[in-house]
A = this chain, B = another copy of it.
């Protein structure tokens, strides 16, 4: 027997359709409709009929084998043979995160295929794997941010059990797993939630679709929907944390913000399970309130993405300065990011045409993720180029060194460790012609701001755009990929073994630089990360005293008394005797 349930306050009548038959449902006072059906069993398909229309998938469907418009499938989630009982996720203070996209991480693009590449990640030395969104979205392939069945793993990636196998396999290798979840909007295709109940609000719109009703009438059940979703991934799928997509797209005027509530509920679960669970928002607000303790009036989230550090590095290393990159481009920005996390912490942003941000005073660097690349910064380019395609090998090594010696939690994007030659495009697979055109036109419009022309923009709907984005693992052994991989491994090893790099306190980070000459030195305890961005050899002043070169991007770098002699576009890590 199974009890079917749906919260539905919009329709006057809700029926269950199960294996082609209709069953009446009963409405409770609180707007939940229920039906007990004796013959229902795992593997059966069902949907809900709303005022005679439908069937529509269950808003909390566990599986959508036929896609977003299809029926929901009953899944028995109780019998998975977990073997990760003794796994404990490493704390963020010692974490290195690896972001990957299930569909492009392997040729097959499935949960099970990803398992085959986990040993590579263990050998690389990362501690956390982060999956881009895996919930059911329209079509067979896509980034996943337009998910609509938030409780169902995407059918093209495999079954719910396949996802559990992948998480379990990560844990077996000592890898923690973070899932990217989107709580600021739902995708435009297959989103039937509004037919059930007031999940959405007209009060405001997010950049990607209708705003979610976190604070209006009946918002209590809407908040439960998202909190229950988070708790499900952590509890039933054993994820160790969630990355919260674009929380600036969440508008909630409640006295208790949904993110504060979510954090409290995740903390309770963490205590209950005896497992360390983290929440990591992406935010465009530069507002430390997300991280502040509850006593400080904050949401107490664990860490947030730090785009300012990315933009500072990216602009200096590539020379790019269009669109939002125009706010960055100086060594001073890198220095400020390393010392203060936010480059814009109350100063005027010319691109935003307003004051932006607030100081992150007193917060550890480990409350911020630092990255040279991520899915957005690569994929939201007309040609999907990675850093390796946008800068010299020397500069790529400087970037990697600054990330992996930073006070932040470093994050790599799949293939970054070997400077993958494959692009990572934005790709979609909308079945509706009008959505397909809209996404094509939207991309072209967005890219125009960066000076890219429509004809240079990869067509997101073209199947080859997706296929070209898949990693080519056979690159790995060839130059320069092997050399780039080796550099990353060395840096990760250094981060693991040098006590000075274990210090996340931003106030202990010293940075000196010369904007004109193009050098920058980061001092972290006894270590100095000496970066020569210039296209010519130069002597870079360093602290006096005996220093040895721990690692260098180039054999020609030498440490002398009071200075380092650095070849063009090179980086070296020195250590005081």
Contacts and interface: CB of A to CB of B under 8 A. Distances in A.
Interface of A: 203-205, 215-220, 248, 251, 253-256, 285-289, 292, 295-298, 346, 348, 352-358
Contact of A288 (B215, B251, B255): B255
Contacts of A251: 204, 251, 253
Contact of A218 (B203, B248, B292, B354): B354
Contacts of A253: 248, 251, 285
A297 B298 CA distance: 7
A285 B257 CA distance: 12
A175 to B, nearest CB: 34
Contacts of A205: 203
Contacts of A219: 354-355
B256 A358 contact: yes
A contact patch SS: loop
A353 B205 CA distance: 22
Given A253-B248, A298-B297, A218 B285 contact: no
Given A296-B295, A296-B297, A348 B220 contact: yes
B354 A256 contact: no
Contact of A203 (B204, B298, B348): B204
Contacts of A289: 255, 297
Nearest to A217: B353
A357 B256 CA distance: 7
Given A292-B297, A296-B296, 8 more contacts: A204-B204, A216-B354, A217-B354, A254-B355, A254-B356, A255-B289, A255-B357, A256-B355
A480 to B, nearest CB: 41
Nearest to A342: B255
Contacts of A352: 217
A117 to B, nearest CB: 39
Nearest to A287: B255
22 contacts: A204-B251, A216-B354, A217-B352, A217-B353, A217-B354, A218-B354, A219-B354, A220-B348, A220-B354, A251-B251, A253-B285, A254-B354, A254-B356, A255-B356, A255-B357, A255-B358, A256-B355, A256-B358, A296-B296, A296-B297, A297-B297, A297-B298
A353 B218 contact: yes
A350 to B, nearest CB: 10
Contacts of A256: 346, 355, 358
A288 B294 CA distance: 13
- Which interface residue of A217, A348, A354 has the most chain B CB atoms within 10 A? A354
Contact of A255 (B286, B295, B297): B286
A219 B354 CA distance: 6
